[in-house]
A and B are shown apart, each in its own frame.
Chain A
Amino acid sequence: MRRTLVWLVATVGAVISVVPFYWMVVASTHDSGELFASPPPFLPGAELLANIANLEKTIHFSRVMITSVWTAIVYTALSALVSAMCGYGLAKYRFRGRGLLLGVVLATMMIPFQVLLVPLFQMMASVGWVDTYQAIIVPFLANSFGIFLMRQAFIDFPDELLESGRLDGAGDLRIFYRIVLPCVRPQLGALVIFTFMGQWNAFIWPLLMLNSEERFTVPVALNHLIGLSRVDYSGLMLGAFLATLPLALIFLLFQRQFVSGLLGGAVKG
């Protein structure tokens, strides 16, 4: 009896979470006009190839995907490195104002991004970075959430290991790369997934910064399908569907680290 109830709840939950995704897939195989029919189509249609061709024609989807992929990878790699180094510094080095510095880093997490928009835009404009790739990568390299996450990861790292490394004559960088970093792979995996997703889905900042169509990222380009008197829903759905694929790939690649990263803190005292 209880088992049936659990199954029932699980099934309903699964349906609720799968249906929007299913609709996205179905909608991407129909002509936009067909989606307004009632009842709406429940089975995949025959327009997938036409929609792909159309998406390529209207917003150069392949170019947009390539831009999104490489900017997200570059950002994720650099940002993970910065987070790890800053987190390590804040966790393991004793210096004046360490607590204050950590406080400042955490405080930046509490400022809503909307407040930073205009000043940050002015900064980018004054260094001539409007409409450049570095404008969507560099300003967010020091990611306070990532720094904090990595600091927490390093704080329990035994000092004895660092000392023995030093005794054996290893420099700070060597200790960091050879001894410390390999030990926090789970947390690093989690951080990579978080930052990649954040950058992949970033919308308002790339929208404000990028002005040339050849530099658009996926969310900014998809936004162009919403017109004044027509909305290309099948294009939007297809684009959104294709855009989830790299995310799924990243998640699969880093999944093992991710799960153990999330649970990593659960049993530590």
Chain B
Amino acid sequence: MQKNHVIAGVVIAGGLAMSGCATGGAPVKEAPKIAQSPADQLSGEIKVWSWDVAAKALQRMAPEFEKAHPGVKVEVVDIGYDNAYDKITVGLKSGSGLPDVITLEDTQIPGYAENFPGGLVDLTGVAGKYKADFDPAKWAAASSGKGLVALPWDSAPVGLFYRRDHFKQAGVDPESIVTWDDAVKAGEKIKKITGKRLFVSDLTKPDAFTMLLQQLGQGYFKDGKVAVNTPEAVRALTLLKTLKDKDLLQNEKGWDGRVTATKQGKAAAQPTAAWWSGTLTGEMAELSGKFGVIPLPAFDAAGSRTSANGGSALAITSQTKNQNTAWAFVEWLLANKDSQVSMMKNEALFPAYLPALSDPLFDEPQAYFGEQAINRLFADQVRKIPPVELTGDDTQVQEVLKKAVSSVLLNGEDPKTALDGAASRIATATKRPLAQ
């Protein structure tokens, strides 16, 4: 779920800007680096901040780590998701009050890495050897600063959830959908026969656009240059406009709107990440057996069939007094097949650690999804998620894109024109050059 921290962000940022002058807080410019230490030398107590099911996973796993490392104590605090970043921002800004390890969503990592250089420990030295073992898109997100500032935890591979009953009624074989052109044609047919639109989208938000752009292998920036009006970006937005023009998008406001519309069966499909299955089974158990999943339709026949939407990582703060133990815990938890599989099994946290994905757990058929082994489908997509460039300016870009996307989808503006306008506004605001 992508929530906006804009209001809180503005408030806090305003406070930071002003207090910056008063305190003159100059953080260390170079991130502290750490070295691996032998397991038998570990000791002391570490604190970890997390939220939601991630916190539950940590609370369950911590005692196992303690058992394997006598003398070590791991305290996990569930700080709640909704305002977690307020706490983390204030902690980084004031240089105090943070625990040893914090959870960060991928989209937040670049902002913290850029705005607080030295606030998070550079893990390159100890974690570099794992590079090939992790979801490449997530590795890229975690190393968007000068070094690797977080170790990837869970992946959010995107697929197309669909309603078996709606597709059947319309006589559309979901497996026949390979490209977005197929999906548009199938959508028209389903709309005509069942009256259901293709999927739910908030037309005032750039989320769907961002997801499609990543599918095309691009973020908002390319080599640091503004790239929201590249041919790829225009293509992504044009697809959404086509869907809208053919009346295939069910416009619903925000998260609650999407959940409500899905529960009511207003749409026949939903392109979203693997974690959506948790929302489905949790909020609409009565629809058991009605959903299935196919890979995301591609833009070109041989193109990427997935994207990413969400996912987190663990970072070690430089306020820690126990770096070695903190790293040992993070490494044991994330770069470890057993613990990653265990967290998939119990908390449905989809491993970004590739060796874990070969576990038979992923092949288990799921009753809710009509006995389909959806986790195998997602697991096969994880390593194919296109890595994109994330930056600390992304939140600002999203604000500008909101206007561009809604003017195209709601007022029928031309995608290229709208994105050109957005690009020049972003270039001015971020003082970055245009890629095109």
Interface residues of A (CB under 8 A from B): 32-33, 36-38, 112, 114-119, 121-122, 124-126, 130, 204, 207-208, 211-213, 220, 223-224, 226-231
User: What are the 5 closest A-B residue pairs judged by CB atoms, nearest first?
Assistant: A125-B96, A224-B80, A114-B15, A227-B52, A118-B19
Interchain CB contact (< 8 A) of A118 among B79, B80, B90? B90
Interchain CB contact (< 8 A) of A33 among B93, B94, B256, B283? B283
B207 CB within 8 Å of chain A: no
Contact B263 A122 (CB under 8 A): no
Binary CB contact string for chain B from 363 to 381 against chain A (1 if under 8 A, 0 otherwise): 0000000000000000000
B302 CB within 8 Å of chain A: no
Q: Which B residues between 21 and 62 are near A, CB-CB below 8 angstroms?
A: 22-23, 47, 49, 51-53
Given contacts A228-B275, A228-B310, contact A117 B80 (CB under 8 A): no
B83 CB within 8 Å of chain A: yes
Cα-based distance from A241 to B422 in the complex (angstroms): 44
Q: Which residues of A contact B130 (CB under 8 A)?
A: none
Interchain CB contact (< 8 A) of A130 among B12, B18, B97, B278? B97
Given contacts A37-B263, A226-B80, contact A211 B22 (CB under 8 A): no
Contact A231 B264 (CB under 8 A): no
Cα-based distance from A38 to B264 in the complex (angstroms): 7
Question: Can you pick out 24 interface pairs between chain A and chain B where the beta carbons lie within 8 Å of each other?
Answer: A32-B282, A33-B282, A33-B285, A36-B259, A114-B15, A115-B19, A117-B15, A118-B15, A118-B93, A121-B91, A122-B23, A125-B96, A125-B97, A207-B80, A208-B87, A211-B97, A223-B80, A224-B81, A226-B82, A227-B1, A228-B1, A228-B51, A228-B275, A230-B278
Interchain CB contact (< 8 A) of A213 among B18, B52, B77, B285? B77
Q: Which residues of A contact B264 (CB under 8 A)?
A: 37-38
Interface residues of B (CB under 8 A from A): 1, 11-12, 14-16, 18-19, 22-23, 47, 49, 51-53, 77-83, 86-87, 90-91, 93-97, 99, 255-256, 259-260, 263-264, 275-276, 278-279, 282-285, 310
Cα-based distance from A208 to B51 in the complex (angstroms): 15
Contact A207 B53 (CB under 8 A): no
Given contacts A212-B77, A230-B282, contact A114 B52 (CB under 8 A): no
Q: Which residues of A contact B23 (CB under 8 A)?
A: 118-119, 122
Contact A114 B283 (CB under 8 A): no
Cα-based distance from A17 to B276 in the complex (angstroms): 35
Contact A36 B97 (CB under 8 A): no
Given contacts A32-B283, A118-B90, A204-B86, contact A227 B18 (CB under 8 A): no
Give the distance to chain A from B108, nearest Cβ to Cβ, in Å.
13
Cα-based distance from A112 to B51 in the complex (angstroms): 29
Q: Which residues of A contact B94 (CB under 8 A)?
A: 118, 121-122, 125
